[in-house]
Amino acid sequence: MARIVGPMPVIRKTRPSPLTRIIEGRHSSLDVLFERSYSMKMGEFSGVRRKFYFLAQPDIVNRILSSDVDLYPKSNLMGTILYQILGNGIFVSNGETWKKQRRMMNPAFDFARISEVFPLMMESANDMKARLDAVADGREVQIDFEMTHVTADIIFRTIFSEPIPREEAAQIFDAFNHYQELAYIHGVWNMAGLPQALSIPRMRAIRHARGIRGPLARMVRKRFELLATNPENPPQDILSSLIAAEDTDGSKFSEKELVDQIAVMFLAGHETSASALSWALYLISHDQDVQDRMHVETELAFGQEGGFAPRHFKFLKLTRDVFRETLRLYPPVSFVPRDITVPETMRDKKLKKGSAIFISLWLLHRHREIWKNPDTFDPDRFSRSDEKEAIRSAYMPFSQGARVCLGASFALQEAAIILSMISRHYEILPVEGHVPKPVARLTLRSENGIRLRLRKR
């Protein structure tokens, strides 16, 4: 059965020079890859002040992310790029600070259990359907924006107990697109050893960061004002859980720390999901067999007595596998940087303290020696025995170990609801001549957007 090979970056035949990597890599981390990258286990790049290594060997990756996690903290490159939005939130923090944050945030994710958030997800999905009904007549739809809107709406309702206005969703979508381009260029500037104080992209990125962090800070301030007047009846949501959270010593999050953690949850809870959902819908639009099977599956799930409920997720196996396969092909966070805190020998290379490793999920998920037809969209691979070892050892879209994404289950259930709602009600059609151009910066997005056509069934 023929399967689609999704959009790929231009893959050069030969290894680029260090200068070429810096110049061309400022656009996207995919631009520094070449043909052999997809079969290499480890590569290196010499910066001005330190070395950088690209790693795609499953056993070493699992060791770094799991058993030796304290020896390989989140790289300061990540903090430098994301501080303007996330502060010292749990996504970029390390050591005891991270451990304390993790302890205090666990109760908030108790609220995010699917049984609690399912009604909120369905409300957002139904509102999405109403918006899509208005344009599902065969015209072009900017589906990456629509996915950003619905996922932002879900996480907004879960955190703040209210929907996000479309204007604010558009503002955040635009601000983050600009921010991540500028922040990524600043990261390359930093890797090149250039003075941060002279980084014009950093200064411009800060302005766009305010367009994302500002609305979240206002919502947190609004909640404190509400609690001041009505402390006995707080909304039952993630923000209330975080405000009430205490560490073992009785300490609580300050208002700034709350904004840091909310910013992490908001961006991680919608940007990564929106990216993957957009790619999934593009792939589905080019695979009629998968689309037809998903439609049959969703009709069964939604046609149950009493209407669709959490217990009916069991009927959405193909839908879930479509999302899992999309996460393999287009992992939203494609490169995970870690700092090296102790000298060690890895493969045949001597790694010095102070160097950095980029765990490349993009390469690991497409490695020629690990996967069968690695570039092909094939959701059925998750049901085949000959792919089990690759999935077990080399599939990690939510990372691994102690720092595995807290919201993984949330994201998988959210995706199943959104994809099933769309595949049940619409034919998903490609736009002739439109091919998305993947770029990997802070997240993996399409540089020229993802446009589709929808038609009501």
Question: Angle at which helices 288-302 and 408-425 pack, to 10 degrees?
Answer: 100
By residue count, the chain amounts to 457
For residue 240 the two structure tokens come to 């209330």
CB 183 within 8 Å of CB 82? yes
Mapping DSSP onto H, E and C, the string for 343-411 reads CEEECCEEECCCCEEEEEHHHHCCCCCCCCCCCECCHHHHHCHHHHHHHHHHCCCCCCHHHCCCCHHHH
Q: Round to whole Å and give the CA distance between 214 and 238.
A: 19
Question: Angle at which helices 255-285 and 200-229 pack, to 10 degrees?
Answer: 110
Taking Cα atoms as reference points, which of 362, 442, 434 lies closest to residue 178?
442
| DSSP symbol at 13 | S
405 carries a ligand binding annotation: yes
Residue 142's contacts (CB-CB under 8 Å, 6 or more residues apart) are: 449, 450, 451
Torsion over CA: 147, 149, 153, 155 (sign):
positive
Residues belonging to the binding site for heme are 405
Residues belonging to the binding site are 405
